């Protein structure tokens, strides 16, 4: 999870290159989501990878990959509690960090 922390904070000079402010409120949630993914992947490596990558879409306020019982899919008045990712740089940083983490790599 070091990679997730690295993309969520840094110097003003490196903002948009190595980290992005839109990611600063997501580190702890991503750690919780990784544990959820492990528990719910049914020992399927491809499902684990898909679950690990779901926050990339979820934080863009796209909830097609979320379970049908999730509040984001059930509640028509759902509002995200985290900053919605709008920057392509932030989206790419998050996706790359997840794909580089050992849990994602070892799934295969």
Six token digits for residue 71: 């509040």
7 touches 97 (CB < 8 A): yes
CA 106, distance to chain mean position in Å, is 18
- pLDDT block averages, 10 residues each, the chain of length 108: 88 92 95 94 95 96 92 94 96 96 86
Considering the entire predicted model, what is its pTM?
A: 0.91
Which pLDDT belongs to residue 13?
A: 92
Are the C-beta atoms of 8 and 93 separated by less than 8 Å? no
Q: Where are the domains of the chain?
A: 2-106
Q: Where are the alpha helices (DSSP H) in the chain?
A: 2-6, 27-40, 45-58, 71-74, 88-100, 102-106
């Amino acid at each position: 999870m070091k990679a997730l922390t690295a993309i969520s904070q840094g110097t003003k000079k490196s903002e948009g290159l190595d980290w992005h402010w839109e990611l600063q409120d997501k580190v702890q949630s991503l750690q919780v989501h990784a544990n959820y993914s492990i528990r719910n992947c049914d020992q399927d490596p491809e499902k684990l990878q898909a679950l690990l990558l779901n926050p990339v879409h979820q934080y863009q306020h796209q909830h097609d990959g979320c379970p049908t019982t999730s509040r984001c899919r059930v509640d028509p008045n759902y509002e995200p509690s985290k900053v919605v990712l709008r920057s392509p740089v932030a989206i790419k940083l998050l996706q790359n960090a997840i794909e580089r983490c050992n849990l994602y790599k070892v799934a295969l």
